[in-house]
Amino acid sequence: MPGRAGLQERRGRARELPRLSGAGPRNVGMADPARSAPRNRRHVRPAAIERARLRLEPGGALERAPRLDESAFSLYQGDRLADVALKSIGRQLARLFWHEAGARLGVNPEHVHDMRVATRRLRTALRVFAAAIPRETRQEWRQELRWIGRALGSVRDCDVELDRVRRMAADAPEPERAALFVFTSLLEIKRARKRVTLLERLDSPRFSRFRRHAQPWIELRRVTPDTRAARAPAYIAGPRVVAVWDRRMLEACDEAKRKTTAENVHALRIAIKGARYAVEYFVELEGPGARRRAKHLGRLQNMLGARQDAAVLLRHMRRYARTIPSRDGELSLGARIAIRKISRAARVRKSEWREVLELGSGAERA
């Protein structure tokens, strides 16, 4: 029989379990932390560890946090181009700062991804809505978004590579697995350094100043230029703006078709991304057809993006292979096997390339 002191201690710890979304001790579904804690670490409070784990694990409190309310940024048929610009930029700025806390914590890599996507959409918006945004604002924000976007991109690239390498290592034979494990350790060290840079930038006065300047846009209080282009009805200006980005995508598609190089394929992916974002800015006004087209463009962008990510990983893997000592033949063999697999994953398949070229033909007919 347990002593009275031990029983009271366990009851006290049980009372500390958080009531997350109505969850009690009966449906938490976790082992008793008091029993699993090592005897020589009695000073550690198991309930505190349990509370943190419940919040951080997939499906925990952080994952069940309320979603960002974007209803204030909804478009209406009577909106002008300036109104669409204000709401589109306000929406992306709100998303950027909404995911900042998760990116700082570093548990779920999707928060860094969402912040990076927001910076990319904002940089495209500065070009799409150039007629409705003051020139000084565009020039200043272009620099700030590039500055924070590079830090986010460096961490995100490491997350993407780590995810792919870990999945490869799970099913790899022993020589390849050993090489991938060493490479994973190098990536984790690199990611830790990149996260330090990211956190330093998020803590900097420069980022705080950017947040202050963004607040009026998020609150939809920013006054846009009163020009003829800015006053144009969005349902008229929108198709014209999208047509400009369609032509750019078509030109990139023709160039990639004429000469299929890594640089041209990368430029085509960027052009598809720009066309997709331009469509999405006006999708609430254009209807289901525009929404389907945006999804199609997004799928092609993701496909080319996956090939680009594999190409970057291939370059890093080859650089790592060159550092393996010549006397370590087994590790070198494992690295060569991994390089061959990644090289195949980096190639754009004929069926995928044909779909991209058909997209260009469709844009030309439109």
80 phi/psi in degrees, rounded to 5: -90, 170
How many alpha carbons fall within 13 Å on the CB side of residue 37? 17
Dist CA 53 CA 58 (whole Å): 10
Q: What is the pLDDT of residues 234-279, one digit of tens each?
A: 999 999 999 999 999 989 988 888 887 888 888 999 999 999 999 9
Question: Which residues of the chain, if any, have pLDDT below 70?
Answer: 1-65, 359-366
pLDDT of residue 40: 44
pLDDT of residue 226: 76
Q: Note whether 198 and 154 are within 8 A (CB).
A: yes
- The three-class DSSP label of residue 38 is coil
Q: Note whether 283 and 293 are within 8 A (CB).
A: no
Domain definitions of the chain by residue range:
4-56, 233-366
- DSSP tag of 219: T
pLDDT of residue 58: 52
Q: Is 189 exposed, middle or buried (0-12, 13-18, 19+ CB in 10 A)?
A: exposed
Nearest CA to 266 out of 356, 191, 341, 145 is that of 356
What number of H helices and E strands is found in the chain? Answer: 16, 0
